[in-house]
A and B are shown apart, each in its own frame.
Chain A
Amino acid sequence: MAAGLAARHQVDLVECIEWVGVECLNEKSDRTYTNILKQGYREDNGLMLESDTDEQLLMYIPFNQVVKLHSLIIRAPAEEGPKTIRLFANRQNMGFGNVGDFPPSDVLTLTPEHLQGKPVLLKYVKFQNVRSLTIFVEDNQSGSEETKIQKLAIIGSTVETTNMSEFKKVGHS
Chain B
Amino acid sequence: MVLEATMICIDNSEWMRNGDYAPTRFQAMADAVNLICGAKTQSNPENTVGVLTMAGKGVRVLVTPTSDLGKILSCMHGLDIGGEMNLTSGVQVAQLALKHRQNKHQRQRIVLFAGSPVAAEKKTLEAIGKKLRKYNVALDIVSFGEEDEGKQEKLDSLVNAVINNENSHIIHVPPGQAILSDVLISSSIFTGDGEGGSGFAAAAAAGAAAAALDAHGGFEFGVDPNLDPELALALRVSMEEERSRQEAAAKRAAEEAEKNQTEGGESSSQGGDIAMTDTSSAPPVLVADKGPDFMDEDTALLEQALKMSMAEAAGAASTQGAGDVPVGEGMSEDLVMALQMSMHEAAGAGGSTTTPADTDISRVLGDQSFVSSVLASLPGVDANDPSVREVLASLQEEEKRKNDSKGKDTEKQG
Contacts and interface: CB of A to CB of B under 8 A. Distances in A.
Given A30-B165, A52-B164, A22 B133 contact: no
Contact of A60 (B104, B131, B167): B104
B174 to A, nearest CB: 32
B100 A29 contact: no
A93 B134 contact: no
Nearest to A94: B99
A24 to B, nearest CB: 8
Contacts of A30: 165
B99 A95 contact: yes
Given A52-B164, A53-B130, A95-B99, A26 B104 contact: no
Interface in A80-105: 93, 95-96
Given A29-B164, A30-B165, A52-B164, A96 B134 contact: yes
A60 B105 CA distance: 12
A96 B105 CA distance: 19
Contacts of A5: none
B133 A53 contact: yes
The number of chain B residues touching the other chain, given as a range, is: 10 to 19
Nearest to B129: A53
B104 A20 contact: yes
A30 B165 CA distance: 9
A27 interface: yes
A25 B99 CA distance: 10
Interface in B94-151: 99-100, 103-105, 130-131, 133-136
A23 interface: yes
Given A20-B105, A52-B164, A26 B134 contact: yes
The number of chain A residues touching the other chain, given as a range, is: 10 to 19
B357 to A, nearest CB: 77
Residue in A20, A53, A96 whose Cβ sees the most chain B Cβ within 10 Å: A53
A21 interface: yes
Nearest to A23: B104
A56 interface: yes
Contacts of B100: 93
Interface string B73-99: 000000000000000000000000001
B135 A25 contact: yes
Contacts of B131: 96
A44 interface: no
A54 interface: yes
Nearest to B100: A93
A54 B134 contact: yes
A26 B136 contact: yes
Given A20-B103, A29-B165, A93-B100, 15 more contacts: A25-B134, A25-B136, A29-B136, A29-B164, A29-B167, A30-B165, A52-B133, A52-B164, A53-B133, A54-B134, A56-B134, A60-B104, A95-B99, A96-B134, A96-B135
8 contacts: A21-B105, A22-B104, A52-B134, A53-B130, A93-B99, A93-B100, A95-B99, A96-B135
Interface of B: 99-100, 103-105, 130-131, 133-136, 164-165, 167
State the 7 A-B residue pairs at the shortest beta-carbon distance, nearest first.
Answer: A23-B104, A26-B134, A53-B134, A29-B165, A21-B104, A53-B133, A93-B100
